[in-house]
Structure 1
Amino acid sequence: MMELALTGIGIVLCAITWRGMWKPSTLDTARDRLFDLRDRQVRGWFLEHGIPLDHPIYVALRDLLNGMLKNTDTLTFSHVVWLLAWAEEHPDIEARRRKILEARFATDDPRLKQLVREVRENASGVMFAYVIESSPAALFFALMGAIAVFVARACRWVITVFRNGGGMVRAPLRTHLAAALLTCATLMGLTSRATAQATMEEKAFSVQYPA
């Protein structure tokens, strides 16, 4: 009976810690990273290169990041899973939406192309990290994904060592939780990286999904 009571108290304390400390902390971190992308990386880049802030690419990136900032208040792991599932079940509609999405960032300037690619990847990474870190279920799946990725890389490392006659291979094993979960989803055929990123961006631009 005492063990049951202590378990209940532990669960309550974990829930209080989660809601009172962990979730607000992850929210603040995600918002800080998005603000940094918007105000330092994007705005700073345009000012540094003397490109006016009414440039279509700047406006598109600003709107993307502002939309993601707004979504941090409401976006949940279950909602993201539903959006990804919907996109996979409606490939024709998703293809048209992605075409419209890509048109927002179309440019012939190679410098802008590189900036757009980096900002979009970083912003989607921030959002996936936030969705995962703010959900116990997502953290569990991400942990399983991280273990799977680590084991796969370790196996490749061992094989490479044997092939090289025992030589060391320096390969960093940095595995981000968001990347791990996305990798698992991709390997299981649930979604693709392109679809996942596009889904986050469409949500930021307030693309409406049917009920």
Structure 2
Amino acid sequence: MRDEATREAQSAAVRQASTSKAEQISTVLSAAARPSPLKPVAAETLDKCHAGATNGLFGHDEYRLTCRLSETRYFGIGDNLLDVLREVDKGAKASGLMPVTTSAIEDVERYYAANGRTEDGLLLPLPGLSYFAPGHDSPIWVGWSQVSDPLDSQSVPDLTWPTVFVEAQPVDLDALRVGPLQRHQYLVTISSGSRYYEVPWSS
């Protein structure tokens, strides 16, 4: 079963589906960033396929094989975070992206106007921005943090069952911090991911 799933994940049809999905994700991420002052400093991708572990009634995996691709782009900015986020939001909407109902630039503005705290001094959860793109089945996420904050690099998944295919281009965030991000105060990320191949169990 493992060999069969591995061969299928590496087949020309699945790799072509991966390429097509990568192009789609790249297009929507560019739409979110292009009209803004953001300049990318790095990008990482993760392409992963895993086999269904069981076709039983309990713990049932819906698909015999599932493949998913994600991309994250990293941007460095100075101390004008809120102005940049406003530009990102404005540009994303102008590009045809639609804000997720729980995501609004006004929430971000209120958060920073209150210095991230309630009237009682309690910490507020950091808001985020996310959008839907026509024809794309997953949200586009916009996140941010201070460059000085602890940054966890994405680890490459082990090729152990039920994972049958992994292709990754990770980013070393520590290297970014002492390199391209050294003169920046904030790190902004724009990311999205989506399934591109699913095989149901045989009936």
Please tell me the TM-score bracket, short chain as reference. under 0.3
Greater percentage in helix: 1
User: What is the TM-score when the length of structure 2 is the normalising length?
Assistant: 0.26
User: What is the TM-score when the length of structure 1 is the normalising length?
Assistant: 0.25
Greater percentage in strand: 2
